[in-house]
Structure 1
């Protein structure tokens, strides 16, 4: 039995990805059934997970303990780490090898994993996967300069990387105004002196300091003078923009995902914005099949490779997503509008915060960001039959 009573979410992720048949984990989630069903631990290799609410351990500790295996290490999880610590202690006293997850699902939602997705000459691109939320951001490096695309609000991870690699941050891009999470764009730019860019159509009347990115704008990065081009891509939002890097990589924001595409209803104008989305998708026909798509969200581990990376060629997406191949606007609109998931109440608040219209507290930001993102049209596979 391990003497350790607590592990971090980063340690949990490492254990899950390195898990062997000889030392399997068992995750015990002690949150309510409703909370568990809406958001849970998921990864490339998710161990057996069981939901047994905390209240049941208070009322019937012996009976509940019997439902927990004796021959595996038990990882106990709750919302913030308090209730699970109590349950883990009960299990240890009953002879189970149990550890508590420090910070619980709150900490899981703040876990970031970087991975290299592109490397050629002086250029490198890192994808930063916010594992618990399915949010993806990117660090583009060229020589001694860098750009960040769609940074999350926890900017320390980017600042640490820049410092460790002696890089100067030159550009920060938000591909659109985010609704499912809070942007770190302004904060990151202020901390480094970089220029921050966002399409003005997504932030009308905003007092934020930012450069207005527009279709066709070009930027250079690093000694190699690598080329970054903005491509207008309205639909998910009026100002949605795709960042094109060296003509080979498309940072598509919430316009195009690897299994779906961005929902056009977050502004309450789905019937209008879906037409823009259709035109944007049609406009991607000018790109070859081997262009790499790097989105800002993922629906889950089923889209990840064995390193946790989320990327596809445009050709793969064309082959797998039937929405990409609808050549009639009315048919496209009907398919999309029939597969829009419910919009969380917090999304309007986060949109306002992301244009500087409101200033939420740290507690409010933590609360609003809980859970997975819901920025996509329902899975393309589900859309085939309607």
Structure 2
């Protein structure tokens, strides 16, 4: 965060710490802000994103940044100024998130660096990516854009078989270096919706005119659920796997309340506070069954992130004359664009989500009865650290129904 940020949603109050739980406040704070600024900039009201995926790739860029470029990324992401300590805490958090997933859950993430054969990347930076990010590093011929895109896609698909066509030939025509991250989640709901109860329901617009139908899922059971008057919403927890380490929080605004107005309350109410209240209310009302109806849905989103990152105080990194990434290369790199693609499939028993964020460094400067009847917010969370892996807004009721982020660098 910087003094020029328009809206401060959460402040970084946690000093250097010695555990993954406390360190996780940093990507979590970043997640809250990037979600807000992305929604505001794009006027998005139906999208999915992986804030953690974006945070991961931006911290990778920070590892090679200098001067004001370094400072601006550090403030926006909440990275510890002591880089050695940051890398240690990052490793601890990664181990917590990715190395101990329960039965019924798959969660994996990989960073990658695709380098044009004509661009020099410092060995020290490659070593950092390899040791701290377990990155996949490849030197390719960016002149043959189609073959390079095919090779890059094969690298990703070897790790994530269900993730395909992340790159296209045009991506490599405008880049000298691509730093990216892919994250994948597949979870089995601990309390699934019964497929036989799913029905087609007619959807109406504000004038009570039919605009189509959706598949509405239904279940009745004992689930963590609370009425949050301070947020003008009801919140439901849907656990995944056998030990409930991961869950989806579904925030249902009161009738007439917009999701973004509810979201603004997260500057006063923390994710951990929500989880604590859900747990307390569930213990106090554990015998109470709730009736839940939610749509079966699939959301694909593709979004540029330069403007949201500008709003968070990251400017110099995108300017050919100001971007400083001397610890990546001596070739005068700057970030051409940060692009994010995400997809979620939410069905009766299973949720599948994936995302990629490639950043392109360019080689030339140029410009109790819960029924989802209105838009709702959802967060896919790792509960012990309260880390937001995925987030989004569903509002396809109005319209009737790819997670990828990356950074492209340019050199001068």
Larger strand proportion of the pair: 2
The normalised TM-score by structure 2 is 0.27
Tell which has more relative contact order, 1 or 2 (C-alpha 8 A, sep 6+).
2
The normalised TM-score by structure 1 is 0.29
